[in-house]
Structure 1
Amino acid sequence: MIYKKHIALLGILVVLLSACINRNNGSLPTDVVTNPNTASGKVKDNLPKIEFEKEIYDFGKVFMGEKVSYGFKFKNTGRGDLLISQVNSSCGCTVIKFPKVTIKPGEQKVLTVTFDSEGRKGVQNKSVTIVSNCQPNKKVIRIKAMVIVP
């Protein structure tokens, strides 16, 4: 009976110790991780760069209940392919349509922001955060509106 306990304990110990062995040392292929901030101070020059023609758009006066849209034109001015992975708005009243394709260097696309003024009044300032494979990986654009109650 004591031997069975020792054997069971030894088996558990072997399982726990084998789980601690790291076979790949946590290494990732270099093409998966792109960090231009290196110890040598050399920055990779083949990264994408997102540039917007306009970063703030003012709709002006909008009647409550009205939906208004604006297409933010942007261009990949970098040397690598641009991928937008996520776009978040600061409010549920703002809907964003963005290209879900690879944007080659020099290519221009449009990101459309639609603001629904239902239930809003007065000055409205909303932000849209774009997450991409650029460095830095977040870019913020903004819309403004003055919502008037009819």
Structure 2
Amino acid sequence: MKMIKISMLALTLSLMSFSAIEPVKTLVSKTIAAASSVVWKSETIDVGTIPQNTPKPIVFEFKNTGKTAVIVTNVQGSCGCTATNYTKTPIAPGKSGTVTATYNAANAGAFTKTVSVTTNAETTVKVLTIKGTVVAASTAVKS
């Protein structure tokens, strides 16, 4: 009987400790989000008509409107046809950074591609969108 009481006490204490962790995680997440914030100039860029077989760099700009430095930790294109680059240094409060997606316009036709950006300032991944139309080089209109 004593063993059962000890087991029940241990179980109760362990459940209490797990339930106490969630509010702490939430508080930490809210504190981080309040301390640093990323504001994008545009989350979708329409490049219009671009010539086939000509890589097109698209620059997404953002500003750190928070109180602590923002660090871009990962940038990933939705396919192998989109190369990425980004500001590698911490972006101080009030300063701006960029994410560049270079689309390889190999296939003619309309396209929509995404770039996923992870930072220390947000708990969710920001998805940026590029869209436009690739035309044969002889019929392309400069934008």
Alignment TM-score, normalising by the size of structure 2 = 0.71
Matches within 5 A, 1:42-57: 43-44=30-31, 46-57=34-45
Structure 1 residue 142 corresponds to structure 2 residue 139? no
Q: Distance in 2 between matches of 1:37 and 1:100?
A: 28
> Shift of the alpha carbon at 1:36?
6.2
Corresponding residue of 1:84: 72
Q: Which structure has the larger Rg?
A: 1
Matches within 5 A, 1:1-150: 37-38=26-27, 43-44=30-31, 46-118=34-106, 120-150=107-137
Structure 2 spans left out of the alignment, 5+ residues:
1-23, 138-143
Q: Distance in 2 between matches of 1:148 and 1:105?
A: 41
Give the AA of the match of 1:106. G
Structure 1 spans left out of the alignment, 5+ residues:
1-34
Choose between structure 1 and 2 for higher RCO, CA contacts under 8 A separated by at least 6 residues: 2
Report if the CA contact (8 A) 2:54-2:104 is conserved.
Answer: yes
Q: Which runs of 4+ in 1 moved over 3 A?
A: none
Alignment TM-score, normalising by the size of structure 1 = 0.68
Give the AA of the match of 2:131. K
Give the AA of the match of 1:92. G
Q: Distance in 1 between matches of 2:89 and 2:73?
A: 10
Report if the CA contact (8 A) 1:47-1:135 is conserved.
Answer: no
* Residue deviations 1:1-58 (CA, integer Å, cap 9, x gap): xxxxxxxxxxxxxxxxxxxxxxxxxxxxxxxxxx76239xx93165321111011111
More helix by share: 2
